Amino acid sequence: MLILPAAFTTFIAAFIGVPVLLGFARFFGLYTTVEEMQGKVYVLFGKVVLILDEPGLHSPVLRIGPRALLTHLAGTVHTVDYRLDQEYLRSQAVNSEEGTPMGIGVWYEMRVGNPVDFLFRNTDPRGSLRANVANTAVRCLSNMPLNTLLEDRHQMSRMVRGEVSPKSEAWGYRLGSVYIRKVHFRDGNMIQQIEQKVVNRLRQVTSAIRQVGANQVAVIKSTAEKEAASEFARAAAMRPYLVGKALQDIGQDREILEAVFEILETQNMLAGEVDLTLIPGGAKAELLGSLLATQSQKFYGEPAAPPAEAPAQAPPAFLVGHPPEFPHGR
């Protein structure tokens, strides 16, 4: 029976009593906590009595004594954020040395350096720093050559940062990096003209590249054709030489030469569209030749040529060719 009252008492003390006691301790300034990248400024009767900028657990009573209690009752405790902040100013209007309307984008970083100056030197330090950066960019970057505006951004960034840093430190701000991120033309007609010029230039370059390529291809092609024609001419010139040399070698033997010409004649006759009649040799060869000549006269209506005198010894066989108009299937 004693366990339930003890558990209830422990619950009340742990979950209700301890938070209430810690709240009273914080209210009377017995302790306070400072987070990472954070600071606290204690102000009493218009004077700064304590600055806490180290993260951790602190006891204001041990540092300023009873004034910690008065600060919580009659003073003010300001919490200052030390984290790095950044901002981007778009299209700040400047004019180049040639009178070209340009727009410049400025990106910069800042953080609180002196919390007292940040709180009491300027009512709006962030807005003042923004206006200071914009005015400095316009003042320092106006009337610069157009090539410098478009190319040398690093030098322009250093110039703006050098002008803004001393003034920002007077307001408790510590300026970090400053960078010119974008430089552009603000006149729409000028942008269209520049785009048209760029397109025309690209077309010219493309056409020139194509022409150079076509010329190189033509040179390569003509060179190849020249070499090929030379080789073909050399081959055409070598063919009669080789054929003549082969015939010369063959002509040294009479029998081989006659056999070659006979084979060539037979090949030409077989390649043409003619009818061939084979006549056996012997005593009847003259008679068969006369009959064939008579038959040719009958079909063509011409007198047949007289038969040639038979040689002393008739060849074993010979070929007689008929013209293409000779009727077939007789």
- Three-state secondary structure call for residue 283: coil
Q: Which is more confident, 293 or 244?
A: 244
Structure tokens at 6: 């003890």
pLDDT digits (tens, 9 = 90+) for 70-80: 887 788 888 88
* Cβ proximity of 80 and 173 under 8 Å: no
Q: Work out the pLDDT band at 279, boundaries 50, 70, 90.
A: low
* Cβ proximity of 267 and 274 under 8 Å: no
The letter for the amino acid at 200 is N
Distance (Å, whole) CA 142 – CA 57: 51
DSSP H helical ranges for the chain? 3-12, 18-27, 60-64, 67-74, 115-120, 125-141, 146-151, 153-170, 188-251, 254-271, 285-300
CA-to-CA dists, residue 307 to 126, 300, 304, 316, angstroms: 132, 17, 8, 18
Q: Is the pLDDT of residue 12 over 60?
A: yes
Structure tokens at 187: 């006149």
* Cβ proximity of 143 and 202 under 8 Å: no
Range in 159-173, 210-224, 283-297 with the lowest mean pLDDT: 283-297
pLDDT digits (tens, 9 = 90+) for 62-100: 888 888 888 877 888 888 888 888 899 988 888 888 888
For residue 210, the model assigns a pLDDT of 92
98 CB contacts (<8 Å, ≥6 apart)? 145, 146
Separation of first and last alpha carbons in the chain: 144
* Cβ proximity of 260 and 253 under 8 Å: no
Q: What percent of the chain has pLDDT over 90?
A: 8
For residue 328, the model assigns a pLDDT of 41
| Residues paired with residue 277 on neighbouring β-strands, in sequence order | 320
Q: Which is more confident, 79 or 251?
A: 79
For residue 318, the model assigns a pLDDT of 37
DSSP state of 303: P
Q: Work out the pLDDT band at 207, boundaries 50, 70, 90.
A: very high
Distance (Å, whole) CA 327 – CA 38: 122
Q: Work out the pLDDT band at 323, boundaries 50, 70, 90.
A: very low
326 CB contacts (<8 Å, ≥6 apart)? 274, 275, 299
For residue 280, the model assigns a pLDDT of 65
For residue 101, the model assigns a pLDDT of 86
Mean pLDDT to the nearest integer, 284-297? 65
So where are the chain's domains?
Answer: 19-81, 85-186, 188-253, 273-322
Q: Sheet harboring 38-44: ordered strands across?
A: 47-52, 38-44, 76-81
* Cβ proximity of 168 and 129 under 8 Å: yes
Cβ atoms within 10 Å, residue 175: 21
* Angle value at C-alpha 118, between 116 and 122, nearest 5 degrees: 115
Mean pLDDT to the nearest integer, 233-259? 80
Q: Work out the pLDDT band at 209, boundaries 50, 70, 90.
A: very high
* Angle value at C-alpha 284, between 282 and 285, nearest 5 degrees: 70
Distance (Å, whole) CA 131 – CA 137: 10
Structure tokens at 16: 């209700």
Q: Is the pLDDT of residue 205 over 90?
A: yes
Q: Is the pLDDT of residue 175 over 90?
A: no
Distance (Å, whole) CA 220 – CA 213: 11
Nearest to 31 by CA among 86, 68, 73: 68
Among the CATH numbers 3.90.1150.10, 3.30.2350.10, 3.30.479.30, 1.10.10.60, which is that of 85-186?
3.30.479.30
Query: Most distant CA pair in the chain: distance in Å?
Result: 163
Range in 113-122, 131-140, 237-246, 277-286 with the lowest mean pLDDT: 277-286
pLDDT digits (tens, 9 = 90+) for 44-57: 888 888 888 888 88
Summary mean pLDDT of the chain = 78
Distance (Å, whole) CA 190 – CA 199: 14
